[in-house]
Amino acid sequence: GLGEHRAKAERMFSLMDGFLKNDPISLQKDILHHVEYTVARSRFSFDDFEAYQALAHTVRDRLIERWHDTHIYFKRTKPKRLYFLSLEFLMGRSLSNSVINLGIEDQCAEALNQLGFEFEVVAEQEGDAALGNGGLARLSACQMDSLATLDYPAWGYGLRYEYGLFRQIIVDGFQHEKPDYWLNFGNPWEIERIHVTYEVKFYGTVEEVEMNGEKQKVWIPGETVEAVAYDNPIPGYGTRNTINLRLWAAKPSSKFDLEAYNTGDYINSVVNRQNAETISNVLYPDDRSHQGKELRLEQQYFFVSASLQDIMRRFKEEHTNFDELPEKVALHLNDTHPSLSIAEVMRMLVDEEHLGWHKAWDIVCKIFSFTTHTMVTDGEKIPVELLENLLPRHLEILYEINFNFLEEMKKRIGLDYSRLALLSIVEEGAMKSIRMANLAIVCSHTVNGVSKLHLEKLKTKTFKDFYGLYPEKFQCKTNGVSQRRWIVVSNPGLRDLISKWLGTEAWIRDADLLSGLRDHLDNADFHLEWKMVKKVNKMRLAEYIEAMSGVKVSLDAMFDVQVKRIHEYKRQLLNIFGIIHRYNCLKNMDKDSRRKVVPRVCIIGGKAAPGYEIAKKIIKLCHAVAEKINNDTDIGDLLKVVFIPDYNVSVAELVIPGADLSQHLSTAGNEASGTGNMKFLMNGCLLLATADGSTVEIIEEIGEDNLFVFGAKVHEVEKRRQKRLSNLAPLQPAKVPLHFARVLRMVRDGYFGHNDYFKSLCETVEFGFGNDYYLLTSDFGSYLEAQAAADKAFVNQDKWTRMSILSVAGSGRFSSDRTIQDYAESTWKISPCRCPL
């Protein structure tokens, strides 16, 4: 039984006890110690939050122990290390994840119990670490979890923003942004390293000096800021390995402004020092559109410079010859955001280590790999004007890289200037700028796509020219998510059920074992327990919905969820239009037909970038529609619409397990991968989705009978867009499907109020205005059919449960463990380095 498996796992983990013991009594002693001496409360009287703080410190002590052992072991064995460079990490909460990965969850729960506390309640006291925007940032977090679990000698590097992603407040249906000062209540999961600091330089000039009879460029910087390391231990599951996520915070440098002191302007010099700290102050909230802001560039370089100084110092402690760099160091660029690293390594090797340009270049081309996360061609650019001022030496280096690259290209493809202009790292024109993607592709040995479909588009469209030049660089690493976070932490009921029926917990380290659930596909007891787990999760979600929005929802209804960042291409508008259509249908039905309708709770959640007007209007429309429908006594429980505010990792952990159906509606060819789809799949929630991104591979894995696929396929999208343009001149209402036109008219004419406000939103999907770039009109019919198929399937609960089981059984391939192993073997060329017990 289950107890046995837990007991076995516990024995395994207690072998790993280090200095600190993990039995409930020892844990309890440590918790009380931290209540008294860390939290400074009386051990006779402390509340849930203080209990959280004390337990967090108790767990932290254990993390530190393993973290030390891991790093001592890495130091001794000197393996090739991976450095994962990312400006965003969405870690969410750490307590549950840590105690699970340490294998001390039952012991902690018992220790708390004896003190009169409940683990779940205590765990909910923790706030999210939200140092990222969306999918890309949560992917980084899952990948760190997998790197630790698979024993890879890896480090994560990032920025310690003092303000994470804004908190979304809804007032009267409108989104407002509030700062997320997440450090207000302390952060027990980080360790400040006041002695691990580096100076990061900005501005200044480049001068030429004579060195050994040769002319050499040197950068004479104008300003210095100090980077301080904050270490965040990342424990693996079922291993002692605990790796490090090192985040940098900016502090004024002690050398910052001696001069001001000398000239007597003491007050101003102190005030100026504060400016340094602004660099790591705030995360940019614009998901996938970072264009030409000076502070953002400062953040990028601050991050790159501090990380690379740290990495090079570590390399030089162990090695003397830079020829060994490619054998010992792999640098991974998580999207283009850290691409300045390339220029920085060149600067370090050429200007500081005096290796000579060609030798340095040769090394640089062997250490970088790059993953892009977008289907869009028009990627990140840095205006030359900004660089010239902030990082003059780097700009020169970038020009030289580009010059050499274009010379090489001229030899390969001839003087085809229009092609050369496309390949160039420097974009000429009104706003001369550096194309970060081109830079990353030219200098990386591997360019990864995040799904098969994404890679295909990179090869044939986005980076077609580069693919022609370097076909061997382009590889597919389909994304994955961690089953530890997305089943074990967030869905304990399902975790126990899976372990019971598989007879093992080994799937927590080896997700392919989930396929074993297929053996019980027709077992009635299994079905019963499966449905029970879902029911309990739905109850939890229903309570949350009522608390957040006051809407009471029926547990018999199908819980239909779309949660993700709000973007036009993700088509939340298609969902809302579908809801309005459903409402219209219900209104037109007689009593008899209504009795046969599957009741629905439509749940939407997600943040809009603060400056993204259309996205904000979508949020308002959702609220306006909800208000109308939820208050229509004619409709009752048959249809409810709920917007869940402030969607984040911990909200996702609650919402995803409670969903029956989840929607992934991006116009085919726009979602690079998608990872939400995988999280829902792992939780036995059926997908209603377009054949986009990684959903194509989910279809491949579980078969199209086990989800609801709709809409134009990638190859049809282009054709339809062209057709739409040729129809453009006269408005042709006859070509707009009837239902769609009706829904659109209702919104435009003010059926949900605010018609002036919604006008520009409607225009995005109207011919002759926004031209419906994302093809809502042409996909609407197919979308409604898929919705009808979902309704029909839900009536047959046996069939639904089978589909649900097959979803989880097929989710193993979408574990981030698979992704990371693939990266390790084929891109980074690193091997596991398992710290002995």
Task: Give 250-286 as a 3 state SS string.
Answer: EEECCCCCHHHHHCCCHHHHHHHHHHHHHHHCECCCC
Which amino acid is it at 252? Answer: P
CB of 583 closer than 8 Å to CB of 683: no
Task: Give 62-84 as a 3 state SS string.
Answer: HHHHHHHHHHHHHHHHCCCEEEE
Residue span binding ligand GPK (CB under 6 A) among the ranges 135-143, 490-498, 757-765, 803-811 = 135-143
Residue with Cβ nearer ligand GPK (289 or 732): 289
Positions 237 through 276 that interact with ligand GPK (CB under 6 A): none
Positions 138 through 167 that interact with ligand GPK (CB under 6 A): 139
Cβ at position 289, least distance to ligand GPK in Å:
8
Output the six-digit token pair for 136: 């890309």
Residue with Cβ nearer ligand GPK (383 or 606): 606
- Residue 555 has a CB neighbour count (10 Å cut-off) of 14
Output the six-digit token pair for 26: 């020892």
Cβ at position 697, least distance to ligand GPK in Å:
12
Looking at the DSSP assignment, which residues form a beta bridge with residue 474?
447
Binding-site residue total for ligand GPK (CB under 6 A)?
17
Residue with Cβ nearer ligand GPK (537 or 666): 666
Catalytic member of 66, 373, 393, 617: 373
CA distance 102 to 799: 38
Cβ at position 804, least distance to ligand GPK in Å:
23
Catalytic member of 41, 62, 534, 565: 565
Cβ neighbours for 342, distance < 8 A, ≥ 6 positions apart: 364, 368, 401, 439, 440, 443
Q: Which of 693, 711, 810, 812 binds ligand GPK (CB under 6 A)?
A: 693
Task: Compute CA distances 589 → 579, 595, 631, 738, 743, whole Å.
Answer: 16, 10, 18, 18, 17
At which residue do the structure tokens 């919604």 appear? 758
Catalytic member of 570, 571, 623, 664: 570
Catalytic member of 381, 564, 567, 620: 564
Query: Should residue 374 be labelled a site residue for ligand GPK when binding is judged by CB under 6 A?
Result: yes
CA distance 271 to 274: 6
Catalytic member of 70, 239, 372, 675: 675
Concerning whether 373 is annotated as a catalytic residue, the answer is yes
Concerning whether 313 is annotated as a catalytic residue, the answer is no
The length of the chain in residues reads 837
Q: How many CA atoms lie within 13 A of 308 on its CB side?
A: 26
Residue span binding ligand GPK (CB under 6 A) among the ranges 234-242, 514-522, 602-610, 668-676 = 668-676
Nearest Cα to Cα of residue 131 among 245, 49, 237: 245
For strand 686-690 and strand 708-710, is the pairing parallel, antiparallel, or unpaired?
Answer: parallel
Query: Should residue 450 be labelled a site residue for ligand GPK when binding is judged by CB under 6 A?
Result: yes
Positions 476 through 505 that interact with ligand GPK (CB under 6 A): 479
Residue with Cβ nearer ligand GPK (100 or 450): 450
Cβ at position 411, least distance to ligand GPK in Å:
33
Cβ at position 575, least distance to ligand GPK in Å:
17
Q: Which of 24, 92, 103, 134 binds ligand GPK (CB under 6 A)?
A: 134
Beta strands in 203-258 (DSSP E): 205-211, 214-220, 223-235, 242-252
Residue with Cβ nearer ligand GPK (251 or 290): 290
Q: Which of 136, 312, 541, 656 binds ligand GPK (CB under 6 A)?
A: 136
Concerning whether 675 is annotated as a catalytic residue, the answer is yes
Nearest Cα to Cα of residue 472 among 504, 438, 445: 445
Cβ at position 162, least distance to ligand GPK in Å:
21
Concerning whether 11 is annotated as a catalytic residue, the answer is no
Catalytic member of 93, 288, 495, 679: 679
Residue with Cβ nearer ligand GPK (188 or 674): 674
Cβ at position 566, least distance to ligand GPK in Å:
13
Residue with Cβ nearer ligand GPK (158 or 252): 158
Q: How many CA atoms lie within 13 A of 126 on its CB side?
A: 27
Continuous segment of H or E residues that includes residue 197 = strand 191-202
Cβ at position 672, least distance to ligand GPK in Å:
4
CB of 90 closer than 8 Å to CB of 158: no
Give 168-171's long-range contacts (Cβ < 8 A, gap of 24+).
Answer: 168/607, 168/645, 168/646, 168/647, 169/645, 169/646, 170/619, 170/623, 170/643, 170/645
Which amino acid is it at 46? Answer: F
Residue 45 is classified by DSSP as S
Backbone angles phi, psi at 284, to 5 degrees: -70, 125
Residue span binding ligand GPK (CB under 6 A) among the ranges 133-141, 251-259, 318-326, 640-648 = 133-141
Residue with Cβ nearer ligand GPK (374 or 491): 374
Cβ at position 477, least distance to ligand GPK in Å:
10
x-or-dash string of contact with ligand GPK, 670-689, rule CB under 6 A? -xxxxx--------------
Cβ neighbours for 515, distance < 8 A, ≥ 6 positions apart: 809, 810, 812
CB of 375 closer than 8 Å to CB of 669: yes
Cβ at position 336, least distance to ligand GPK in Å:
9
Cβ at position 574, least distance to ligand GPK in Å:
17
Residue with Cβ nearer ligand GPK (304 or 805): 304
Cβ at position 419, least distance to ligand GPK in Å:
26
Output the six-digit token pair for 647: 């969607």
CB of 675 closer than 8 Å to CB of 135: yes
At which residue do the structure tokens 């193993």 appear? 812
Residue span binding ligand GPK (CB under 6 A) among the ranges 267-275, 412-420, 469-477, 667-675 = 667-675
Residue with Cβ nearer ligand GPK (672 or 681): 672
Residue with Cβ nearer ligand GPK (457 or 527): 457
Cα 7 to the chain's mean position, in Å?
34
Cβ at position 458, least distance to ligand GPK in Å:
13
Concerning whether 664 is annotated as a catalytic residue, the answer is no
Residue with Cβ nearer ligand GPK (286 or 529): 286
For the chain, the C-alpha Rg in angstroms (whole number) is 28
For strand 446-449 and strand 474-476, is the pairing parallel, antiparallel, or unpaired?
Answer: parallel
DSSP assignment of 390-441 equals H-HHHHHHHHHHHHHHHHHHHHHH-S-HHHHHHH-SEE-SSS-EEEHHHHHH
CA distance 582 to 569: 22
Concerning whether 38 is annotated as a catalytic residue, the answer is no
At which residue do the structure tokens 């969903």 appear? 659
Positions 460 through 479 that interact with ligand GPK (CB under 6 A): 479
Task: Compute CA distances 763 → 578, 712, 756, 766, 784, whole Å.
Answer: 18, 21, 11, 5, 22
Residue with Cβ nearer ligand GPK (133 or 537): 133
The catalytic residue positions are 373, 564-565, 570, 675, 679
**Chain contacts with ligand GPK (rule: CB under 6 A):** 133-136, 139, 287-288, 373-374, 450, 479, 671-675, 693
